Amino acid sequence: MKKQVAIYCRTSTNMQKSGLESQRRALVEYCKSRSIKNYLIYEDSGISGTKSSRPSLDNMMKKVRAGEVGAVIVYSFSRFARSTKHLIDVLEEFESYGVNFISLSEQVDLSTAIGKAMYTIISAIAALERDLISERVKNGMKNARAKGKQIGRPKTRNTDLIVSLRKQGYTYNQIRELIGVGHGTITNALRESLKKDKKK
């Protein structure tokens, strides 16, 4: 069975219909210019890039994991990934399944030497980003302790930091290791943030 080429488009609000159309047009034209006919379009309209779950993206990833996709083409990194870490994680998964990745705006094609070099640079930036966050968290906790503040679980949890790390794509285990809180604390912080967002 010939593997399909998946093209992915996304807009943050339903009002950006023209934006979705322009992304689709550019991606389809790219495929036609390279005689790619076996493409399938996946679109998420009115869904924020920070959302961990997007129906069409989730469906596309199922096809990737089922071995039905040979390449993924997107309009830009920002239309596809919710964070640098998320981008790296997905690219690593693509690599494990032998799936090529192309982004038109950034002119990245991971099947080329330049594309592979870009991937290495992006990976290095993601690693640096993780190290900087870890360092800031540790320094903040040291500073708090130096001022005599108790770093307890429920009362001293940094809800904003937990929510921020989660939105950047960090897993519960990674957040726990970074700031030294339990799984329940992370869940409660995210639940509390969700309640606040609903009240706004």
Q: Which residues are catalytic?
A: 12
Identity at 59, one-letter amino acid code: N
